[in-house]
Amino acid sequence: MPALHPRGVNHLALSTRDMKGQLEFWCDVLGCPLKALYWMHGVENTFHGFVELAEDSYVAFVQHPDNAKDIEYGVTHAGNPGAPVTAGTMQHVAFHVDSLDDVLAMRDRIRDRGIQVMGPIDHGMIKSIYFAGPEGLSLEVATGSGIDERAWIDPEVRDLCGISEDELEALKRPADFDRPTEPVPQPPYDETKPNMHYPRKVLDAIMGMSDQEMWDTASETTPPVVVD
């Protein structure tokens, strides 16, 4: 049985105040076809849009009426692929193509739409280009796979991160998970663990529901348009 871990990005959700502008950029400049545009399930007055990277990978947009409009570089946005930004936010995101020639073709497509592109740059383990997207996005297109951890884990940086040799081995070879026959029960609230940001009473109510109750209550599978 293959190791159990996420194998890719199903969708990356980006906040927007301009759904049309984002879709025009991603569909025309980057060539990603529009696949969904609808009222976001369970969120009032909010649009949800999806463009396709691959059949199992998408970029999504969330246009909430209360999305803030002010960009503060170094806090809300990085603005370039090496700049600081608040911890836990997206510094930049890189999208995969199959070859260096595809990277160069994407460079030409993006420049053809009037967008400046930095690169290509050979990083050894990947080769990539960098450019900006609407609303301050910092984006990359890259090619590369099969990173050799023996060559690309720097002992000096490992030490500066406070990672011991034993901890490094555990990080390189995560433990297997033997799934029990019965579902694992919801653990109690623990402020030392990552928690979704809801008012505490709301969070407790959500996490107090059984998985079946959540499935029955929150699921919405009917598309907005009937397709023959």
Digit-coded pLDDT (tens) for 160-187: 999 999 999 999 999 999 999 999 999 9
| 11 bridge partner residues | 58
* Averaged pLDDT of the chain: 96
pLDDT confidence of residue 77: 98
Q: pLDDT band for 1, please (50, 70, 90 cuts).
A: low
Protein fold of 8-68: 2,3-Dihydroxybiphenyl 1,2-Dioxygenase; domain 1 (3.10.180)
Residue 48 — very low, low, confident or very high, per pLDDT cuts 50/70/90?
A: very high
ω into 120 cis (within 30 of 0)? yes
* Maximum pairwise Cα distance, the chain: 60
- End-to-end CA distance of the chain: give it in Å, rounded: 39
* Per-residue confidence (pLDDT) for residue 64, from 0 to 100: 98
Residue 134: pLDDT band (50, 70, 90) is: very high
Where in the chain are the domains?
8-68, 70-144, 148-175
Separation CA 123–CA 82 (nearest Å): 14
Judge whether 8-68 and 70-144 match in fold.
yes
Collapsed DSSP state (helix, strand, coil) of residue 122? strand
* Whether residue 145 has pLDDT greater than 80: yes
pLDDT (0 to 100) of residue 227: 86
Over 90: is that where the pLDDT of 220 sits? yes
> Which residues does 211 contact at the CB level (< 8 Å), separation at least 6?
183
pLDDT tops 70 at residue 202: yes
Residue 209 — very low, low, confident or very high, per pLDDT cuts 50/70/90? very high
| H or E stretch at 166 | helix 165-172
What is the rounded average pLDDT of the residues 81-92?
Answer: 97
- What amino acid is encoded at 176 in this protein? D
Residues 24-46 as b or e (16 or more Cβ within 10 Å = b): ebbeebbebeeeeeeebeeeeee
Residue 98 is predicted with a pLDDT of 97
Superfamily of domain 70-144: 2,3-Dihydroxybiphenyl 1,2-Dioxygenase, domain 1 (3.10.180.10)
Instruction: Determine what percent of the chain is predicted with pLDDT higher than 90.
Output: 96
How high is the pLDDT of residue 4? 86
Q: How far, rounded to the nearest angstrom, does the alpha carbon of residue 30 sit from its chain's CA centroid?
A: 17
DSSP 80-119: STT----TTS---EEEE-SSHHHHHHHHHHHHHTT---EE
Q: What is the pLDDT confidence band of residue 114, given thresholds at 50, 70 and 90?
A: very high
pTM here? 0.93
> Does residue 212 carry a pLDDT above 70?
yes
